[in-house]
Amino acid sequence: MATTFRIDNPEPPKNRGGSGNPLVWALVGGSLVMVVMAGVVFVILRVKTPASGKTAVPAQIAATKRGAPAGSQFLPTAARATGFSPPPASPAPTPSATMGRGFGWAQPRAQAPVAAPVSTGFGAAPPPGPAGQPVASGFGAPTQPTTFAPAAAPAPVAATPSPQDVIARNRASVLLILTETDSGLSSGTGFVVSPGQVATCEHVISDARSIYLLTVDGRRLTGAVAAADPRNDVAVLNVGGGLPPALSLGFYGQAREGDEVAVTGYPKTFTMLEVGFRPAPATSRGSISGKRERMLDGASIAMLQTDTAINPGNSGGPLYSLRDGTVYGIASAGLRDTPGVNFAASIDALRRLLGR
């Protein structure tokens, strides 16, 4: 008949003669198994120990104990560099008879000595170059040393002359002309155009029996008419003796309205002598007012109008640019009772007379 228990008051189970608590037996059994396994492992390790009595260690661990970085024995030689200097030298490990028996370790290979130079870490190490030759530093191809030639001295720049410099230079080539005629003495101005010739106005030397010229430094020379053009009022004198340097002749077409110009000459010579002044050249400055054409006997005569003062005695003096001293005209005349309206003969008329 089956035994029943009340749920609200169960009867504890009775010991039916078993060998003890099963949990205790499981713990005891597990401990015995671990002791046995430890003994087996100990025996195996003793069998694997070499005759020297020291435990063999892998080459990777041995290298670490000697100070080399772990795994360095299995890296390429060039990759063992430590920064920018060669790695410390270490002897190659000696192969052991027990290595490679069931542990899967690779048999260490004898390492070749590292050849100098050692890589700097940025690329392959370059071979040492011959003495005095550049060697690559690891950052690129070797470069030849650059030789810098000394800087060439800049070409001297010619300074632009001032108007005063131009006047002073041209002034020495302007001469006083004195002529003796049947009516008496008269004066005018001339300027040197070649080593033996002086240019002036035709009306200055017309009807002259004698012609004398005085230089700035006071020398007295004689002259004779070589050629004359009454229509354009220009003339050329042959002069004996040493003359100052010739002035530079320009062209009528080069002259422009508004150009700054000057006229150098000997105005009112006899009046200046009467009041006690010694004859000396004087310069007046102005500009080119325009280009004019004068009709004379049905012919057109080219002239330059200027506001530069041209007084009696200045006739025959050069009208020149204050930029460089180039002569563009020959002071000829002015309108009576009209100051500032004066005229100069074209330099082209003088060129034709000189055959230039």
Region 120-146: mean pLDDT is: 53
Among 181, 277, 249, 174, smallest CA distance to 216 is for 174
Q: Which range is least confidently modeled, 107-116, 194-203, 257-266?
A: 107-116
Q: What is the DSSP letter of 249?
A: B
Judge whether 318 and 192 are in contact, CB under 8 Å: no
* Residue 223, pLDDT above cutoff 90: yes
**Between 157 and 303, residue with greater pLDDT:** 303
CATH of 163-354 among 3.40.50.12280, 3.20.20.70, 1.10.3470.10, 2.40.10.120: 2.40.10.120
Between 9 and 194, residue with greater pLDDT: 194
Provide the token pair at 103. 């542990």
Q: pLDDT by residue (tens digit) across 84-110?
A: 445 555 555 444 444 444 334 445 455
User: Could you tell me the pLDDT band of residue 327, with boundaries at 50, 70 and 90?
Assistant: very high
State the chain's mean pLDDT as an integer: 76
What pLDDT, on the 0 to 100 scale, is given for residue 356?
Answer: 85
Task: Check whether 141 has a pLDDT greater than 60.
Answer: no
Q: How confident is the model at residue 149 (pLDDT cuts 50, 70, 90)?
A: low
* pLDDT per position as a tens digit, 39-87: 877 777 776 555 444 444 444 444 444 444 444 444 444 444 444 445 5
Query: How far, CA to CA in Å, does 209 sit from each of 51, 69, 111, 176, 258?
Result: 147, 121, 121, 17, 40
Give 140 or 3, the one with higher predicted confidence: 140
Query: Structure pTM?
Result: 0.57
- Over the stretch 6-20, which tens digit does the pLDDT of each residue have? 444 445 555 554 455
Map 141-202 to HEC letters: CCCCCCCCCCCCCCCCCCCCCCHHHHHHHHHCCEEEEEEEECCEEEEEEEEEEECCEEEECH
Sequence ranges of the domains in the chain: 163-354
The per-residue pLDDT for 62 is: 46
Whether 155 shows a pLDDT value over 60: the answer reads yes
281-290 pLDDT, tens digit per residue, is: 999 999 999 9
210 φ, ψ (degrees, to nearest 5): -140, 145
